[in-house]
Structure 1
Amino acid sequence: MAKVAVPLDAELVVEVMVLTGVGNPRDAVELVVRDYIARGHRTEARTAARDEVLRDADGTPRDVQG
Protein backbone atom coordinates (compact mmCIF):
# COMPACT_ATOMS: atom_id res chain seq x y z
CA MET A 1 0.00 0.00 0.00
CA ALA A 2 1.28 3.48 -0.81
CA LYS A 3 2.26 5.73 2.08
CA VAL A 4 1.40 9.41 2.37
CA ALA A 5 3.01 11.95 4.68
CA VAL A 6 0.58 14.53 6.07
CA PRO A 7 1.76 17.28 8.40
CA LEU A 8 -0.58 17.65 11.38
CA ASP A 9 -0.72 19.97 14.35
CA ALA A 10 1.17 18.41 17.27
CA GLU A 11 -1.64 19.12 19.74
CA LEU A 12 -4.10 17.32 17.47
CA VAL A 13 -1.84 14.28 17.25
CA VAL A 14 -1.31 14.20 21.02
CA GLU A 15 -5.07 14.37 21.53
CA VAL A 16 -5.55 11.43 19.17
CA MET A 17 -2.85 9.47 20.97
CA VAL A 18 -4.52 10.08 24.34
CA LEU A 19 -7.99 9.17 23.05
CA THR A 20 -6.82 5.96 21.37
CA GLY A 21 -4.36 4.99 24.08
CA VAL A 22 -1.64 4.40 21.49
CA GLY A 23 1.89 5.67 22.06
CA ASN A 24 2.91 5.87 18.42
CA PRO A 25 1.51 8.95 16.62
CA ARG A 26 1.34 7.25 13.23
CA ASP A 27 -0.57 4.26 14.63
CA ALA A 28 -2.95 6.47 16.58
CA VAL A 29 -3.89 8.55 13.53
CA GLU A 30 -4.23 5.40 11.42
CA LEU A 31 -6.64 3.92 13.98
CA VAL A 32 -8.81 7.02 13.87
CA VAL A 33 -8.89 7.08 10.07
CA ARG A 34 -9.70 3.36 9.84
CA ASP A 35 -12.48 3.75 12.42
CA TYR A 36 -13.93 6.70 10.50
CA ILE A 37 -13.96 4.69 7.28
CA ALA A 38 -15.53 1.63 8.95
CA ARG A 39 -18.21 3.81 10.51
CA GLY A 40 -19.01 5.25 7.09
CA HIS A 41 -19.38 1.76 5.62
CA ARG A 42 -21.71 0.71 8.45
CA THR A 43 -23.83 3.81 7.88
CA GLU A 44 -24.02 3.11 4.15
CA ALA A 45 -25.11 -0.47 4.83
CA ARG A 46 -27.86 0.60 7.24
CA THR A 47 -29.07 3.30 4.86
CA ALA A 48 -29.14 0.90 1.92
CA ALA A 49 -31.14 -1.65 3.91
CA ARG A 50 -33.65 0.98 5.01
CA ASP A 51 -33.98 2.33 1.47
CA GLU A 52 -34.63 -1.18 0.20
CA VAL A 53 -37.42 -1.70 2.73
CA LEU A 54 -38.99 1.64 1.83
CA ARG A 55 -38.71 0.86 -1.87
CA ASP A 56 -40.47 -2.48 -1.37
CA ALA A 57 -43.22 -0.85 0.68
CA ASP A 58 -43.83 1.84 -1.95
CA GLY A 59 -44.11 -0.75 -4.74
CA THR A 60 -47.14 -2.53 -3.32
CA PRO A 61 -50.59 -1.19 -4.16
CA ARG A 62 -52.64 0.00 -1.22
CA ASP A 63 -56.31 -0.76 -0.69
CA VAL A 64 -58.35 2.42 -0.52
CA GLN A 65 -61.30 2.22 1.77
CA GLY A 66 -64.06 4.69 1.36
Structure 2
Amino acid sequence: MNENVVKTCMVCGEPKEEGMTIVTEFICTSCESEMVNTKVEDERYPFFVRQLKQLWVRFHA
Protein backbone atom coordinates (compact mmCIF):
# COMPACT_ATOMS: atom_id res chain seq x y z
CA MET A 1 0.00 0.00 0.00
CA ASN A 2 1.20 3.49 -0.83
CA GLU A 3 0.53 5.95 1.95
CA ASN A 4 0.90 9.66 1.42
CA VAL A 5 3.76 10.83 3.58
CA VAL A 6 3.62 14.39 4.85
CA LYS A 7 7.00 16.15 4.91
CA THR A 8 7.91 19.71 5.77
CA CYS A 9 9.11 21.83 2.84
CA MET A 10 12.50 23.44 3.47
CA VAL A 11 11.45 26.51 1.48
CA CYS A 12 7.98 27.41 2.77
CA GLY A 13 8.04 25.40 6.00
CA GLU A 14 4.59 23.95 5.30
CA PRO A 15 3.70 20.26 5.63
CA LYS A 16 3.03 18.83 2.15
CA GLU A 17 2.53 15.41 0.59
CA GLU A 18 3.88 16.05 -2.91
CA GLY A 19 7.34 17.20 -3.83
CA MET A 20 10.90 16.00 -4.17
CA THR A 21 13.76 15.20 -1.85
CA ILE A 22 17.20 16.60 -2.67
CA VAL A 23 19.99 15.11 -0.59
CA THR A 24 17.99 14.95 2.67
CA GLU A 25 15.71 17.98 2.29
CA PHE A 26 12.16 18.09 0.92
CA ILE A 27 10.86 20.77 -1.48
CA CYS A 28 7.12 20.82 -2.21
CA THR A 29 5.85 21.00 -5.78
CA SER A 30 4.47 24.51 -5.38
CA CYS A 31 7.83 25.89 -4.16
CA GLU A 32 9.68 23.99 -6.87
CA SER A 33 7.42 25.50 -9.50
CA GLU A 34 7.79 28.98 -8.07
CA MET A 35 11.59 28.69 -7.93
CA VAL A 36 11.85 27.40 -11.49
CA ASN A 37 9.70 30.25 -12.80
CA THR A 38 11.33 33.05 -10.78
CA LYS A 39 13.52 35.39 -12.79
CA VAL A 40 16.87 36.57 -11.43
CA GLU A 41 15.52 40.13 -11.27
CA ASP A 42 12.60 39.07 -9.05
CA GLU A 43 12.78 40.21 -5.41
CA ARG A 44 12.11 36.61 -4.25
CA TYR A 45 15.16 35.22 -6.07
CA PRO A 46 17.69 35.89 -3.24
CA PHE A 47 15.35 34.14 -0.77
CA PHE A 48 15.29 31.00 -2.92
CA VAL A 49 19.08 31.10 -3.28
CA ARG A 50 19.47 31.28 0.53
CA GLN A 51 17.07 28.40 1.04
CA LEU A 52 18.82 26.20 -1.53
CA LYS A 53 22.22 27.10 -0.07
CA GLN A 54 21.09 25.23 3.05
CA LEU A 55 21.25 21.99 1.04
CA TRP A 56 24.96 22.45 0.48
CA VAL A 57 25.63 23.53 4.07
CA ARG A 58 23.74 20.59 5.58
CA PHE A 59 25.28 18.10 3.16
CA HIS A 60 28.82 19.23 3.99
CA ALA A 61 28.30 19.65 7.73
TM over 0.5: no
- Of structures 1 and 2, the one with the larger relative CO (CA 8 A, separation 6+) is 2
Superposition TM-score, scaled by structure 2 size: 0.31
The structure with the largest alpha-carbon Rg is 1
